[in-house]
Amino acid sequence: MRYEGTQLSFDLGHGGVVEVRLHREPCNEIGLVMLGELERVAEAAHAPGVRAMVITSAVKRGFCAGADLRELHRENASRASEPVEARVREVRGFLDRIHAAFDAIDAAPITTIAAVHGVCFGGGFELALTCDLIVADKSARFCFPELRLGLIPGFGGIPRLERDVGNAVIRDLLLTGRSLGAARAQEIGLVSQLVAPGEHLSVAHRVAEQACRFDAATTKVAKAFLKPIPKERLAREKDVFCELFAGPVVAKALARFDADTSAMPYLPAKQDSA
């Protein structure tokens, strides 16, 4: 099994471990093309002969900066004359597809590992949360910046975070928009292993190879028991995202993001709170 996409690639190595490499500059932003290629990853996670999957980034800046907000802004702006319902329908279609792909990765009957460095923000954080384990190098930082845009995470991140960590942490991340370093992320249970810079991929592979030594059918049953997907919460998250998207804040916030050159563009600028 081998796939060479324009924004990601994967192949099946010895022992049944698929390595997925995201390679879209500058930081693996998830737009329509990346979505189509992630759907291939979701299929691969259920393919015969696959025993484990490692998802990593070949891009220097980090794992994934999240949704392609500039593409979303351009698309939204180009359809500004259309009724808001039409634009929301378009966004909901995108969310339906990304939820289907992420749910499939999440529920794959194999062990999945996100090997993370650098930026792991928004939709990228949500992708990492679909995996069973996160192996992070010390440069990794995790963040949900969506409130800055007048939105909440929409790729299933909130229910998955609720599955993994306490609500106080979730409120802190979402309502302040701040990022967490890898060490803090390990303390709260998000990161299973914290490793030296540049070691995350090799450690992830060693973890995957260890997981492959178990009986595949047992892993499948254990996985189904360990990772039920909270479907009602996932559906509700999509609804809330779409309700917010239809409101007055998002288009302006996307335009502001598009033009932003500030040091920390994922945090709300002072004028945002005015």
Partner 1 sequence: MSTANDVLPRLMTLAAERFGKRSSELRPADDLFDALGIDSVEAMSLVTALEERFGIEIPDYEVQDVRTFEELATVIARRV
- Look up 126 and say whether it is catalytic: yes
Question: Is 176 one of the binding residues for partner 1 (CB under 8 A)?
Answer: yes
The two structure tokens encoding residue 22: 């995201």
Which region, left, alpha or beta, applies to residue 180 given φ > 0 means left and ψ of -120 to 50 means alpha? beta
Q: Give the max Cα distance, the chain.
A: 57
Going residue by residue from 141 to 170, which x/- string records binding to partner 1, judged by CB under 8 A? Answer: x-----------------------------
From 42, 52, 65, 67, the catalytic residue: 67
**Contact residues for 190 (Cβ-Cβ < 8 A; gap 6+):** 134, 142, 164, 165, 180
- Judged by DSSP in three states, 273 sits in helix
What sign does the dihedral 18-23-28-32 (CA atoms) show? Answer: negative
Question: Is 263 one of the binding residues for partner 1 (CB under 8 A)?
Answer: yes
- Shortest spacing between CB 58 and partner 1, in angstroms: 16
38-77: which residues touch partner 1 (CB under 8 A)?
61-62
- Shortest spacing between CB 198 and partner 1, in angstroms: 13
Closest CB to partner 1 among 27 and 234?
27
Closest CB to partner 1 among 80 and 274?
274
Sheet holding 179-181, edge to edge: 62-64, 119-121, 141-143, 179-181
What sign does the dihedral 31-159-140-134 (CA atoms) show? Answer: negative
Degrees, nearest 5: CA angle 131-136-139: 140
- Shortest spacing between CB 153 and partner 1, in angstroms: 18
Question: Is 122 one of the binding residues for partner 1 (CB under 8 A)?
Answer: no
Q: Which stretch binds partner 1 (CB under 8 A): 50-58, 135-143, 200-208, 237-245?
A: 135-143
- Which residues are at the interface with partner 1 (CB under 8 A)? 27, 61-62, 118-119, 138-139, 141, 176-179, 181-184, 262-265, 267
Give the catalytic positions in this structure.
67, 123, 126, 146
